[in-house]
Amino acid sequence: MNSLLDYFPTLPVSQWISQIIQWLTTHLSGFFEALQTGGQSLMDAMTDLLLFLPPLVIIVLAMVLAFYLSGKRYGLAVFTGLGLCYIQNQGLWEDLMYTLTLVILASVISIIIGVPLGIWMAKRDRANQILQPILDFMQTMPAFVYLIPAVAFFGIGMVPGVFASVIFALPPTVRFTNLGLRQVPEEMIEAAEAFGSTSWQKLFKVELPLAKGTLMAGVNQTIMLALSMVVIASMIGAPGLGSNVLTALQRADVGSGFVSGLALVVLAIILDRFMQAGTKQQNQS
């Protein structure tokens, strides 16, 4: 027995989306090509700089930074040194630098876009109502879907990998910035207004400092999500540790996949602990 819904025609959603992507690639091809060229040059320069430095120098600098961020404790510094030495020992150092480039750029772009959007949502309820469903869509859509427009716009390589990573990793920074600003006590805002503070002074000298802990938690989540996209981005040609995991999966090579996967785990723990230690130190200062 047919239901009432069976008599309605099927909406051509797939055709609409394809036409939109086709229109963008046709009319904005110069813009996307410029982004591809500029982005690739920037990422190549950053990776070349990281590879120019000897691994031992980077390991020592990372250990010193870990020692400083952790309040001059040795635990994080020792783990950082051992983890990076393991990656170097397994011949994955160059892949690590490519992965680090992707994660850093995707995270920085997400933060540059996300923090202003979060501020806008906190200051304007209408913007909050409009952007919340968009953020829900970005977080719930399977990450693989983002590879399709990325390839259509930029081809294959590191740039589309960063593009897909930004879309996937952006929402936490926006949400946590919005949440942090909305949790600022009204008494503090009223006190700033009583002293004649302008809107910009209230934002940068009162609201953002008080929301710093929540905001940094969102930044930390963004970095972790960008790192989680490494393997997925390798499907469209992004080099790094993710490509090794993908190759191992295709060849059913458990050993090689575990080695590269463990390197990603080490990198994730180091970045997470660095962010937590840095946030804790800022809160204490």
Domain ranges of the chain: 98-242
Tokens of 257: 């996949």
Looking at residue 56, its pLDDT comes to 92
Task: With beta carbons less than 8 A apart as the criterion, state whether 87 and 266 touch.
Answer: yes
Region for residue 227 given its phi and psi (left: phi exceeds 0; alpha: psi -120 to 50; beta: otherwise): alpha
Looking at residue 222, its pLDDT comes to 92
Looking at residue 120, its pLDDT comes to 93
CATH number of 98-242: 1.10.3720.10
The pLDDT tens digits for 204-218 are 888 888 888 889 889
Looking at residue 156, its pLDDT comes to 82
Region for residue 71 given its phi and psi (left: phi exceeds 0; alpha: psi -120 to 50; beta: otherwise): left
Looking at residue 282, its pLDDT comes to 64
Contacts (Cβ under 8 Å, ≥6 apart) of 112: none
The neighbour count for residue 248, using CB atoms within 10 Å, is 18
Task: With beta carbons less than 8 A apart as the criterion, state whether 164 and 144 touch.
Answer: no
Task: With beta carbons less than 8 A apart as the criterion, state whether 179 and 171 touch.
Answer: no
- Taking the CA atoms of residue 147, residue 244, residue 58 and residue 270 in that order, the dihedral angle to the nearest 10 degrees is 70
- Taking the CA atoms of residue 213, residue 219, residue 221 and residue 224 in that order, the dihedral angle to the nearest 10 degrees is -140
Looking at residue 64, its pLDDT comes to 92
Give Cα separations from 270 to 1, 161, 255 (angstroms): 59, 22, 23
Looking at residue 14, its pLDDT comes to 81
Looking at residue 60, its pLDDT comes to 93
Looking at residue 177, its pLDDT comes to 93
Task: With beta carbons less than 8 A apart as the criterion, state whether 158 and 243 touch.
Answer: no
Contacts (Cβ under 8 Å, ≥6 apart) of 99: 227, 230, 240, 241, 242, 264, 267
- Specify the amino acid at residue 211: A
Looking at residue 145, its pLDDT comes to 84
Looking at residue 8, its pLDDT comes to 66
Q: How far, in Å, CA of 14 to CA of 81, rounded? A: 50
Tokens of 19: 């036409």
Residue ranges of the chain with pLDDT lower than 50?
A: none
Looking at residue 6, its pLDDT comes to 63
